[in-house]
Structure 1
Amino acid sequence: MTVQTSEERPLAASSDNFDDFLPEALRFTAPTELVDIGANLTHESFSRDLEAVLQRANAANVTTLILTGTDLEHAEQAAALCRRFPGLYATAGLHPHDASHWSSSLETAMRDLHRQPEVVAVGECGLDFNRNFSSPTDQERAFEAQLGLAVESGLPLFLHERDAGRRMLEILRSWRDDISHAVVHCFTGERDTLHGYLDLDLHIGLTGWLCDERRGYHLREFLNDIPLNRLMVETDCPYLLPRNLPAKLKGRRNEPALLPWIVQEIAHWRDTDQAEVAHATAETARRFFRLEET
């Protein structure tokens, strides 16, 4: 990703110090180009140094970013960023936390977004029974509506699931013949749920959760169950800062430049080469989001 504005001019001169945010010990360049399939770059924490964030990603060989659209406002912001910077693409959907806000007007607005060339997936959508910020009934209603939009648009799905694997699988089974590809982003579930998703020919997104010995250890035990052609990697930044970093980072903000540390962790637990994981996950992401066609 050569980071330039839509006017094809270099970034501002202030980017001379673009790497000051990362200590030397955290500047890790991936052996081959990476695709970060889940970056929340519309989050307010990136508002002051976005260009530097993109340059650090470029320096780390994270060349393509899929910006997550979790509601109408952030999906529109993500699409606008994609028009400013090459190498960026967006998703557009409504997160289950906000499912109670689903309406016919929102559905129309999302349908319009899905027609934009920079929008490459429907979502983030799904079910979250962990906190139930929206009721399960509202979550299922919004999820089914967005499954319908995915069928209508032909776009793949960017899915969220937390503590709702059984119900998610039931719903997806009834839609599987109609939807195209789907990825369960930031997978944190158990082996049985994983195998249910794989049996439906879904893809799996892994984050820095894997690097957290307190709550992600179980993922390491069945990491090899995920075929490389179904696996993608993501930071979910600014969240889920990897805990395997060899130096402290000022603040707790995660960013795309740290994706290589997640790839390293995956390679370690799969007992394979980092370059193999990097290349395979990037190729899988490009096929999944049809980036060769854009």
Structure 2
Amino acid sequence: MPPSGDTIPSTQFIDIGVNLTDPVFRGLYRGKQVHEDDFANVIIRADAAGVKGMMITGGSLHESREAVDLANSSGAGIYATVGVHPTRTSQLESYPSGAAVYLGLLEELIEQNSKPKGKGKIVAWGECGLDYDRLQFSDVDTQKKHFATQLKLAQKHGLPLFLHSRSAHQDFVSICRGAGYDKDGGHANGGKSGVVHSFTGTEAEMKELVEMGFYIGLNGCSLKTEENLAVAKAVPLERLMLETADAPWCTITTPHSSYHHLKALPTDLRQLYFPDSCKKEKFVTGKTVKGRNEPCATGGVAWIVAQVKGVSIDEVATHAWKNTVGLFGLSELDE
């Protein structure tokens, strides 16, 4: 176990998966204004905790547009992904003008906001993939069909992938291999590699994805069980990325096997990564909202990964930073 004194308060992170467009960051819950808009404080807390880069997740046409608009208005270090989440692929089937038009509108968004022609805020295609845990939203055939289509579009535009795989590993791997994402990372077809975010699969599944050239994104949901922690330990540092993932969700809670590793977290870092909170109904300006995950917690994920690997948090953060900047072309973060 690494000594607590081995930490560096100035350690920097990139949160590769955060839903900053979610209304709860504006104090809205199910359409009701419960407390004041505290989005600005969320960003301030993230910066204080060393989170110098964030990727806002787009999971549908509407969300992708919101993510890009927010990235464009939020300044340096904040980027967006565009794509269709597997549970939203049913939207492609029901879109009045057809799936081709829906995807075409996403492509227009890319042309306007990605490098080299656009503003450079779109850095990945996704979130796309397969999710067999929530088939009530989109059936298997629909998910598989539109996952394959999105892989081709990512290659067409030369974008890396932001991927989702839940209880669907074999089909996920088969479709990726069919699209040329194998040991060459998809380069044979003009594409780039990608990250399988919020990874909760087995060690064998993780190793297969790494062999195919993919990166593994770890977050609170990736660290719930002892089996999850064993997988996190086995993820090569050269293929690791960090995320709150799905903030405002995927918080680290007391029943999680990862939680006890936070006991060794120095007080100064605990205050940065997990600031004082309050219930949303009793909101206090400057405090986080209990149960609402924030980008500032990325350091907490890094700490837990460091603990299970037996290395320093700085080593984990340095590798994750390098991997993220390299895959998504975030070179301005190193300037």
Shift of 1:192: 1.7
Count matched residues.
Answer: 264
Question: Is the CA contact (8 Å cut-off) linking 1:210 and 1:265 kept in structure 2?
Answer: no
| The one of 81, 100, 119 aligned to 2:70 | 81
Q: 1:218 maps to which residue? A: 227
Structure 1, residues 240-267: CA drift from partner, whole Å, max 9, x if none?
1112366774321000011111100000
Query: What residue is the counterpart of 1:106 in the other structure?
Result: 102
Q: Is the 8 A contact 1:92 1:121 kept in 2?
A: yes
Alignment of 1:270-289 (within 5 A): 270-289=309-328
Q: 1:124 aligns with which of 115, 127, 142?
A: 127
- Look up the SS of the partner of 2:252 in the other structure: coil
Q: Is the 8 A contact 2:8 2:314 kept in 1?
A: no
Equivalent in the alignment of 1:188: 200
Q: Answer yes or no: is 1:240 the counterpart of 2:240.
A: no
User: Which residue pairs with 2:156 in the alignment?
Assistant: 152
Q: Which residue does 1:231 correspond to in 2? A: 240
Separation (CA, whole Å) in 2 of partners of 1:223 and 1:59: 26
**1:97/1:30 Cα in 2 relative to 1: closer, same or farther (>3 Å)?**
farther
How high is the sequence identity, in percent, across the aligned residues? 33
Given that 1:29 and 1:260 are in contact with CA atoms closer than 8 Å, whether structure 2 keeps it comes out as no
- Letter aligned with residue 239 of structure 2: R
Amino acid at match of 1:127: L
- Distance between the aligned counterparts of 1:29 and 1:43, measured in 2? 31
Aligned mates of 1:256, 1:223 — CA distance in 2:
20
Letter in 2 for 1:90: A
Q: TM-score, normalised by structure 1?
A: 0.85
Q: Which runs of 5+ in 2 are unaligned?
A: 1-6, 27-36, 93-98, 114-119, 182-187, 254-258, 264-273, 279-289
Q: Report SS of the residue matched to 2:130.
A: strand
Per the TM alignment, residue 31 of structure 1 is displaced from its structure 2 partner at its CA by 3.9
Structure 1: distance between partners of 2:295 and 2:174: 33
**2:177 counterpart of 1:173:** yes
Structure 1 unmatched runs, 5+? 1-27
In the alignment, does 2:22 pair up with 1:43? Answer: yes
Counterpart of 1:160, as a letter, is H
Q: Find the residue that maps to 2:128 and give its secondary structure.
A: strand
> Paired residue for 2:167, among 151, 163, 167?
163
One-letter identity of the residue aligned with 2:295: P
The whole-number CA distance in structure 1 between the counterparts of 2:133 and 2:222 is 19
Check conservation: 1:31, 1:275, Cα contact below 8 A.
Answer: no
Instruction: Give the one of 35, 53, 68 matched to 2:42.
Output: 53
Deviation at 1:67, TM superposition (A): 0.4
Cα contact 1:29–1:60 (8 A) shared by 2: no
Do the aligned residues in 1 keep the contact of 2:248 with 2:292 (CA within 8 Å)? yes
Q: Measure, in 1, the Cα distance between the counterparts of 2:214 and 2:101.
A: 30
One-letter code of the match for 2:77?
A: G
In 1: Cα distance, 2:133 partner to 2:65 partner = 27
Deviation string 1:183-229 (CA, Å, 9 cap, x unpaired) is 100000011211110110100000012443xxx32122133332212
Three-state SS of the structure 1 residue aligned to 2:198 is coil
- Opposite residue 143 of structure 2, the aligned amino acid is Q
**Counterpart residue identity of residue 286, structure 1:** V
Distance between the aligned counterparts of 2:9 and 2:71, measured in 1? 23
- Residue 294 of structure 2 is matched in structure 1 by 255
Return the letter of the residue paired with 2:235. Answer: I
Provide the aligned C-alpha RMSD in A.
Answer: 1.8
What are the superposed Cα offsets for residues 44-71 of structure 1, whole Å, 9 maximum, x if unpaired? 1112211110000000010100000011
